[in-house]
Amino acid sequence: MEPFDYDALPGRVIFGVGRRSEVGEEVDRLHATRVLLIADAHDQETIDQVVTVLGERCVGIFTEVAQHVPMMLAQKVRALATSSDADATVTLGGGSATGFGKAVALTHELPQVCIPTTYAGSELTPIWGTSSGEVKETGRDLRVLPRSVIYDPELTLGLPISIAGPSAMNALAHAVEGLYGPGANPVMSAIALESVRVLATHLPLMKVSPTSIEERSQVLYGAYLAGAVLAVVGTALHHKTCHVLGGLYGLDHGQMNAVVLPHALAFNESAIPEAYQRLSSVLGGDAAGELYDLARTLDTPSSLLELGMPLEGVQRAAPLVVAASASNVRSINEAQAIEFLSSCVEGARPS
């Protein structure tokens, strides 16, 4: 067996239907008494529930959550953390809400309790991100690793398939890149493959039965495993590309994931024969093609063109993708990046 390194990360997870009601206990475990609630405004009823459970501990509410944490809004939430003298944050929402909690943790060192409502996985990672204009800045810092995560599948019941599908493809991308990303190790590979198995099995079932709490729970569980893998292993060509394109064109993160993943995996295939074979056997066929087909089952867009990126954008993005992907398992030059990005823009099934 090959030697390996594994840097385990701390963190507490509670999982189960209805467990958002335990947010008060999670805050108390942190010995926090002044909570800033950062919530995606899509679900006022749950915001009200959390505010009620927190009671006097809730000293502020921020709901101006936007994708990619625009710096102007990050400054606003940080100012609120200061003015409300908060000693912890609770975030309620998808990866965007979590991202705002991390923005506060980075400057104010406030511990964070996360209640995720999508499959983004950010709640398990020490990775933060902000955006200014076309540039997205990301970094890794243990201070932003949330201290406690409450997975309550009930909160995902209302997630329409148009959001659930892309978000779940984002989770799948974490698990897939977890097999060959910079921190890959056999422990994380085992979890990554289980995540791929759970997601590939239950996503089509969830599509057919979107109100099934069992299917919603399975998909959330698969996404949790994927987030845990992302946190330890880090990312490769696929995510680097999505970050570049998110910054350049403001494309929707989840939908971009659904488009780019099969092409990024196909590009890496020759460098990862064993991982590719293991993925293919879990997915029941050629891995890149199966992921492409799964994305079609979830009705996600098949091309970046559909998301609004023009073919001319490829020339602009290629050098940035090359620069961002220096640690990818297979090195990529500008001509290869142009070919890879063109496949993503055109959106044909990878052969």
Q: Does 125 help bind ligand NAD (rule: CB under 6 A)?
A: yes
**CB–CB of 318/253 below 8 Å?**
no
Number of Cα atoms under 13 Å in the Cβ half of residue 154 = 10
Write the CB contacts of 305 (distance below 8 Å, at least 6 apart in sequence): 311, 345, 346, 347
Amino acid in position 161: I
Pick the stretch among 27-35, 73-81, 162-170, 319-327 that binds ligand NAD (CB under 6 A).
162-170
Binding string to ligand NAD for residues 218 to 257, with x set by CB under 6 A, is what?
Answer: -----------------------------------xx---
DSSP secondary structure letters along 58-82: EEEEE----TT-BHHHHHHHHHHHH
Q: Work out how close the CB of 17 gets to ligand NAD at its nearest, in angstroms, rounded to a whole number.
A: 14
Pick the stretch among 14-22, 27-35, 151-159, 198-206 that binds ligand NAD (CB under 6 A).
151-159
Amino acid in position 18: G
Q: Could you give the 3-state DSSP secondary structure of residue 132?
A: strand
State which residue, 40 or 215, has the beta carbon closest to ligand NAD. Answer: 40
73/79 Cα distance (integer angstroms): 10
267/280 Cα distance (integer angstroms): 15
Pick the stretch among 50-58, 95-103, 318-326, 333-341 that binds ligand NAD (CB under 6 A).
95-103
State which residue, 16 or 285, has the beta carbon closest to ligand NAD. Answer: 16
Out of 35, 38, 61, 159, the only residue in the binding site for ligand NAD (CB under 6 A) is: 159
Residues of the shown chain interacting with ligand NAD in the complex, contacts defined by CB under 6 A: 40, 42, 67-68, 93-97, 99, 117-118, 120-122, 125, 127, 129, 155-156, 158-159, 163, 167, 170, 253-254
